[in-house]
């Protein structure tokens, strides 16, 4: 499990470094910080645990269209890097009782998010 987490953290750091800057106030660093407790669940290494508090926090913080598009872009980048875990990652909002206006997927058009 440690090796999987180390690899995920390294790739997520690269995604943050390479992700294009948006106009949203929410950066990929915030997205990763809020969703970090979800890694064990998404990778099949642990329970849902404290993941939902991060999902809800991120949802509450994304108040503007620019924020939602920025979060979408970060999630899309992570989804592209971790397509193996996409189905569990995509199920997180529903499992946490949050309804987001897009699907977590490498093919999501974040520009259409309102």
- Burial class, 58, CB count within 10 angstroms (exposed 0-12 / middle 13-18 / buried 19+): buried
Average pLDDT over residues 72-76: 94
- Cα(65)–Cα(85) distance, integer angstroms: 27
DSSP state at residue 106: T
The CATH number of whichever domain residue 64 belongs to comes to 1.10.110.10
Chain centroid to Cα 45, Å, comes to: 18
Average pLDDT over residues 51-57: 95
Stated pTM of the model: 0.75
For 30, the domain range is 2-112
Question: How many Cβ atoms from other residues are within 10 Å of residue 24's Cβ?
Answer: 21
Number of folded domains that form the chain? 1
Average pLDDT over residues 5-24: 43
């Amino acid at each position: 499990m440690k090796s999987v987490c180390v690899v995920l953290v390294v790739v997520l750091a690269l995604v943050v470094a390479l992700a294009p800057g948006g106009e949203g106030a929410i950066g990929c660093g915030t997205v990763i910080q809020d969703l970090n407790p979800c890694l064990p669940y998404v990778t099949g290494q642990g329970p849902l645990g404290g993941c939902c508090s991060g999902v809800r926090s991120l949802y509450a913080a994304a108040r503007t269209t620019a924020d939602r598009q920025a979060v979408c872009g970060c999630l899309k980048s992570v989804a592209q890097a971790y397509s193996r875990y996409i189905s569990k990652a995509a199920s997180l909002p529903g499992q946490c009782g949050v309804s987001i206006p897009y699907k977590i997927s490498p093919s999501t058009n974040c520009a259409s998010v309102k």
